[in-house]
Homo-oligomer: A and B are copies of this chain.
């Protein structure tokens, strides 16, 4: 179980980078000699050193020599140079440090790595084992893995409903459904994403701040995104006025009224992006995701309302769904989002009991398939010329741990 213990520590270290490293993945590394940790590191923020470098540097600061040590790393080390990349290849750093054995959890799906990191290490004579606690690392960096594989942001849908499936009281207005512990949980979700998206109706009805608060303060607040085809969300809305985070509005083509509205929004520092409007009056969900991805967004939390959620569900463009169920009964027809075309079973139905509220988090079965396809055992061999993964080394699921 020693290998698992060190990898668990590397994952723990990686976790500290969540919320600061996107669009990079959160990565942790641990250097071990004779069963003793001699260095620890992680990727702290986008643009900063990678985990492997941070870890080797930590060992040196401690006066330890990485020569002949074993490195546990949550992700396959990078093996390429590029003009837009801040760091030299980590494979070289590992070689220079004289590390003789690498234990790697997950394969880097970035096409510039994708098995070539391991190939480079093995070519340099470093014993390299892959796959230990792979599943945990896939989960930790789900948005990185999915957005890299799908070339769109990871989509996490989230809503709160009463015991009888109502998301607001018939009378309208803000309806408190879930309790304070659920509030902290949902702000925790916000703190891990690059963007939070809502429809115009939700801004008008709830006037939300859409920032991560209640103890969940990320290094940088997520981008706030509003879907507003006819560009008429009130200028007085909190998220346009409070400067608490960047704000982006997707609108359709601007008519004369909308041009004034747009000028006022720009004056307030709100970014406007125009997208084609469908016959039904809304955007194409994949247009939204394409625009966000292009802008660097790798994960988006969709907070409603029901029309917006239903659009994402209908398009099949979602990965996770969190439903908060509060201890309330509500009257009326303001019901949870419809799921056109669904009669299916979601997967990985996690349950969090949050005081008097329950959070159910599920995964889209298609997303599970995508993630499974990124594992060492199923992912394709490296495609880059000169990079073919040797098969003689055992994968870690066959390692005696």
**B-contacting residues of A (Cβ < 8 Å)?**
161-166, 169, 171, 175, 313, 321, 323, 325, 327-333, 335-347, 349, 351, 353, 356, 358, 360, 362
- Residues of B with C-beta under 8 A to A166: 165, 339
Residue of B nearest to A333 (CB): B338
| Bound Cα distance A299, B344 (Å) | 35
CB pair A331–B325 under 8 Å, yes or no, is no
Task: Find A327's partner among B162, B330, B338, B349 (CB 8 Å cutoff).
Answer: B349
CB pair A329–B346 under 8 Å, yes or no, is yes
- Residues of B with C-beta under 8 A to A358: 351, 358, 360
CB pair B340–A331 under 8 Å, yes or no, is yes
CB pair A344–B329 under 8 Å, yes or no, is yes
Instruction: Tell me whether A351 and B349 are in contact in the complex, defined as CB-CB below 8 angstroms, given that A325-B325, A336-B165, A339-B164 are known contacts.
Output: no
CB pair A163–B321 under 8 Å, yes or no, is yes
Task: Find A329's partner among B327, B331, B339 (CB 8 Å cutoff).
Answer: B339
Could you list 21 A-B pairs, sorted by A, with CB under 8 Å?
A163-B336, A163-B346, A163-B362, A165-B335, A175-B343, A313-B329, A321-B329, A325-B360, A327-B349, A328-B344, A328-B345, A329-B344, A329-B346, A330-B339, A331-B341, A331-B342, A331-B343, A332-B338, A333-B338, A351-B358, A358-B360
Please give the distance in Å from A326's CB to the nearest CB on chain B.
8
- Residues of B with C-beta under 8 A to A321: 163, 329
- Residues of B with C-beta under 8 A to A343: 169, 171, 175, 328, 330-331
Residue of B nearest to A161 (CB): B165
- Residues of B with C-beta under 8 A to A347: 327
